[in-house]
Structure 1
Amino acid sequence: MATTESSSLSTLPADGGDAELVARLSEARETILEEVQKIIVGQTEVLEQLVLAILCRGHCLLEGVPGLAKTVMVQTLGQILDMSFSRIQFTPDLMPSDITGTDIIQEDPETGRRQLEFLPGPLFSHLVLADEINRTPPKTQAALLEAMQERRTTCRGRTYELPDPFFVLATQNPIEQEGTYNLPEAQLDRFMFMVKVDYPTKEEEIEVLRRTTGDERPTLKRVFDAASLIKLQHLVRQVPVADHVYDYVVDLVHSTRPGHNDVPDATRWLQWGAGPRAGQQLILGGKARALIHGRFHVSTDDIAALAKPVLRHRIVCNFAAQTAGLSSDEIIDRLVDHLDKSTKSAHS
């Protein structure tokens, strides 16, 4: 098991200007990737998307076949962020109170009186790993997703605020669907990104074998504490966005909605398109992506780079797309390509 030590990046200067914070954030991105990749081989794009979601106060759903280190990836991220971390293994018998907490009877040692006292569940952590979220019944899923949206939970009529910052990084297995409870589209929409975790390359898999079959235990550095991260989350929202970027985002989101004659793929392959929340997440993600790459402005390239993780769980392919073997990612590629070509021809 990896050990953890503190890092000089853990606390950002309280009086630092935006330029200094941008520089520190760009530096911290490299540090985060460097630290996580002491444990995880490759998966740079996946790790960057996780960092972007955290900077935007968003939640992530990681999907991949077993054995791709999804759980280890989130656990490692929890280690290098100087915040509380908890892991919930979702099972068919898990009840909502098992994750949110419950009232227990406590006796006052002085008076002998008994009273109910709330015992917080594992949800009361800064970073929560919801492992195999699709293996628990809808009632428990709903309790988690309510907390994700409201950032609070209710027990016996009393409301309890969750820690700030608060993130849920959930995993699910796209195969072995027996005994699983698929998240409906309305609940999937609560996740900022759906991140696909793919198989490693041959070279990466060889490195995985080298690292995991030895006795080496790497030491990890802590990168951010809660106060520093909250400061960066506020900075993300201050990044300016040009009008043409807003136009690009709205055109992209609208292109996923069937009925747009100028984008035939939407009508031909899609049953439902993305709602307004998709545009909000594209803008916020674009702001965070610009910052971690050392820029204080958003480009359309930032938006295009995040189109798949933002849109893939917000669109519904129809039967024709399934028959043609088209995935949501392939359709998104076509929509982005169509939009880029239209934008270039409009400016030529």
Structure 2
Amino acid sequence: MAASNFIDYVKFCSRSGAGGNGSVHFRREKHVPKGGPDGGDGGRGGHVILRGNAQLWTLLHLKYKKHVIAERGKNGEGGRRKGADGQDVVLEVPVGTVARESETGEFRCEITEDGQEFVLTPGGRGGLGNDHFKTATNQAPHFAQTGGEGTEEWIILELKLLADVGLVGFPNAGKSTLLASLSAARPEIADYAFTTLVPNLGVVAYRDGKSFVMADIPGIIEGAAEGKGLGLRFLRHIERNSILLFLVPADAAHIGEQYAVLLAELERYNPELLDKRRILAISKADLLDAELMKALESEIPKDIPHLFLSAVSGFQLPLLKDLIWKSLQ
């Protein structure tokens, strides 16, 4: 997924169609000089609808769509003929998309399934024709109901990636290298911080045709929950993951302290993230021998499953997949 093509945030003006007006009409036929009112109803205004599409992975196709305008409903006609409803506008979005009101931030909907639909901005109601207003004392009403106005609102769409496992770590911890080793994903890899600028997804093959999806989230730094670095922009993607795989390099100053900082940033962003299952992987273990690994055990928190691994040499990668699969079940 190219960096320039991954868009996980869009803002646009959503305008539904106004309803058509009801008709003022009277039946006029030969030999029926006073046929009475027969004005038809106006059609409803078009909705703006969100529909989930599992084949989409980004909001790129909506990036330049700043105004979404649904069609107005047609007016009613004589002979009790109802006006046509305004044509709906259907916006297909990736599964995992959340819609909010721009001004208030109010939650509107969450698209979690392929084909799921939600009426984001309802169209105006159609007005009633004069046929509905006849009474015993007013058998020839010369009025009808006007159609309801459409609604105009600014909407924000945010994409939260759906993945089984989310990779969490500081920049240059080896997350992209691990994803490339376990899956067919080919994220950019380089020996400098913030190589990964967008989340990357990879499908990891397991035994007997089974698989799980892993997401490489751009590196978190201390203060990410307050907006430092790239963390705040991408922390929301972690909310969707079933398991958080923390990656700390073996050459870190103190493994336990780095893990604690990462955990603290997640807690500041959303305390519910601490309820997710966690695994700690110490990467770049090809730099260590057995004696050093044993010495580093004292730095590792006791309340989390952990293992040493190397994405370059493949050391303990099968064991990591076993651990993840067992946790997912």
The structure with the larger Rg is 2
- TM-score interval, smaller chain: under 0.3
TM-score by length of 2: 0.26
More strand by share: 2
